[in-house]
Structure 1
């Protein structure tokens, strides 16, 4: 039965290292050059950073929890404490006053989502031994620009990653210590594909157009100074005339180049000379339309069509449809994050401390966009149907939401008891 257990084919050309150069046809977007390109795109372009924030912020904003998933209560509690996340169906324990040397899920999530920008985001697991167990101390982020090599098995599985070192020796981390988030991985390509890859063409064209537009305004907004020399003196002939003409042209060119606008701007020219500001004859090309088009295409690359509302469609009528479609794409990204975290953080933590046979919890999250606004009518309806019980914590929350003053027991009025005549109670007050 050995043939049923072994693979005959392969998923990785070369059997040891995935070479992305064979897939990428644009030279500057071949790894590792593309890391700097994508970093520049997200730092310099307002539309690009808006797109990335539209994708990542809702995922970071939603509530993340640990679901016991059939694991013993002790195991689920241990995992929840290590990841600093609440258990599903249980009240979150008060956070410690000091959080030094504690794992932060929110920070980890922020860095994990950089896989959308660069295509990949790697972390190295480190633990501390305390009270007979290994506690998750840190998931050290390994920046994409520091990755020197990715070792991949023939079946496409990750073997190890290497980082550029300060000396001749590279830092090598094997797969059992790695948490790897990869966007749109195919085969053994653990470098993934950036969310910005389809937007690169439109970004580079927009960047060039913006630069040309700035130069156009700079050169033609005031006009180009042009100097016309006066007629040459009639007494000059031959070499003297040629020398005078060269000197006059140089003097006029220096004057035109030094001309600046401002309160103290001015020029002095000799009798018969002329100085004027000339603009472009005809109309300048309109750069606004192509720039808007490029912005629309950048948003389309991540299904963020709603960023184009008012420019692309001219109406907000399709806003809810676009937003719903976009939310579904965010759910998919969050599911991937939860799946990788469950397999390579939670299960590793359980295996080390409780053994491989013990059921492991899983990382879950609230449905993105599922929150409803808190209204007085909604709260009243929930209390009347007894789906919600009014208590002090609910009152404090509602007072905060609606900007009401804090509860003061010394001035509180007596509430009508259940079944008691409200009018009579009011008269007694």
Structure 2
């Protein structure tokens, strides 16, 4: 295959450049910045937490690539046994759900990679197989550079030295790389936190100003007043007045420093306050609320801010929730795509395992990793309108529909004696006129048969 073009990504000496104009937000500097955002900002942490908890609710299993092919079914059974899906205890030493807990951390930063560790053990039938032991987490903060011979494709990753140990390069065919919004050879992608960074920094500055204002106005500034007329009446000299002022200044300093809780004055030297006024932080707080809203939008979690004001609509919340759910589904699709598929650089784990255990197979026969549990429940969303649909003749109430509803809500099978005809259901669901409607329908059918 002749390749004429290039990816266009600046990948020189293992470092990516040109994608981010703010050098503070590149490489490990960005990793540290993102980790600080998650650790110190409540809005950032809440937005990511609600998305991560949603992602962790998904249920996973492998399905045959070809439902009619016996080899596909065998490969699917092997994959489910390897990962602990579909009732198998699993050959991996760390449960898949526990591994997902740290694997999902790629999304806020933009990337994260995992070293695939393998082991040999007997399968359920006793035959020796090669299994995935676990996806060993390799934190982005330990990343050093990307190894690429042609400056286009990933060959390996090299980690930074920790202590006195120099890690060996991890080859791409022993690696699972998760990258969000990757283009070209930009293996670091662009994380969910990047659009929120400016708002986070602005929120920090605004919060700091509020803090300065609180400290500034929490204790009024003492002002020392000198009554010269009273001093003359009392026959005090300038030296006496200066001494009183020095003593008052010392008291004021101790009071501001909270070393003293009272002030002692006299008819000549007394205390007043300067610049004392009520602190109005409403404008600054409105800015912080807008920053929180923008941060939530970067995670498509705007619904977190519904209900905290005097306005809002349930339908708006449902739209936000639907968009948020679609975002979670897309992230799950990304995991499924990277773990599944043919053996390839930094992906295709199941393809490697199948090749080692079963030899070369048709890619269409490979197991397909599927997820469920995050899709919208059409039945739950339509229950409120079922009676209206039946009333206007757009839905027929029959036994199969009831069986479907009972199955979805866990009510068990429909008993044989509970079967009802269409006319019985119409009579039961229409208290006014239902019996007449059923009788009229029966009469029309009888008349139609008589004409024949």
TM-score of the pair, normalised by structure 2: 0.73
- Flag the 1:283–1:60 CA change in 2: closer, same or farther, 3 A: closer
Matches within 5 A, 1:342-357: 342-343=340-341, 344-357=348-361
Aligned to 1:335: 333
82 and 168 in structure 1: CA distance in 2 versus 1, 3 angstrom threshold: closer
Residue correspondence of structure 1 range 132-143 to structure 2 within 5 A: 132-143=128-139
**Deviating more after overlay: 170-179 vs 106-115:** 106-115
Helix, strand or coil for the counterpart of 1:325? helix
Q: Is the 8 A contact 1:28 1:34 kept in 2?
A: yes
> How big is the shift at 1:110?
2.0
Q: What does 1:178-257 correspond to in 2, within 5 Å?
A: 178-228=175-225, 231=228, 236=237, 240=239, 244=243, 247-248=246-247, 250-257=249-256
Give the direction of change, closer, same or farther, for the CA distance of 1:268–1:250 in structure 2 (3 Å limit).
closer
Cα deviation for residue 259 of structure 1 reads 4.1
Aligned to 1:363: 369
What displacement does 1:173 show? 0.2
Residues 356 and 223 of structure 1, relative CA distance in 2, 3 Å threshold: farther
Using the TM superposition, give the Cα deviation of residue 389 of structure 1 relative to its aligned residue in structure 2, in angstroms.
8.3
Deviations 1:162-208 (A, max 9, x none): 11123373431000100000010111111111111011111111111
* SS at 2:299 equivalent: coil
User: What is the RMSD computed on CA atoms of the aligned residues?
Assistant: 3.6
Q: Distance in 2 between matches of 1:218 and 1:11?
A: 54
CA shift at 1:54, angstroms?
Answer: 2.8
CA distance in 2, matches of 1:31, 1:321: 36
Partner SS state of residue 158, structure 1: coil
Equivalents in 2 of 1:313, 1:347: separation in Å? 54
Of 54, 58, 62, the residue aligned with 2:54 is: 58
The residue that corresponds to 1:85 in the other structure is 85
- Contact 1:103/1:136 (<8 A) preserved: no
Aligned match for 2:106, one of 94, 115, 121: 115
Q: Greater Rg, structure 1 or structure 2?
A: 2
Comparing 251-260 with 141-150, greater Cα deviation is found at 251-260
**Structure 1 counterpart SS, 2:112:** strand
Deviation at residue 281 of structure 1 after TM alignment: 4.6
In 2, are the aligned partners of 1:55 and 1:330 still within 8 Å (CA)? yes
The answer for the alignment partner of 1:72 in structure 2 is 72
Structure 2 unaligned blocks of 5 or more = 123-127, 342-347, 387-396, 419-452
Residue 312 of structure 1 and its aligned partner are, at CA, apart by: 7.8
> 2:24 maps to which residue?
28
CA–CA separation in structure 2 for the residues paired with 1:123 and 1:299? 28
TM score, norm. by length of structure 1: 0.77
- Find the aligned partners of 2:301 and 2:360 in 1 and give their Cα distance: 42
Question: 1:167/1:417 Cα in 2 relative to 1: closer, same or farther (>3 Å)?
Answer: closer
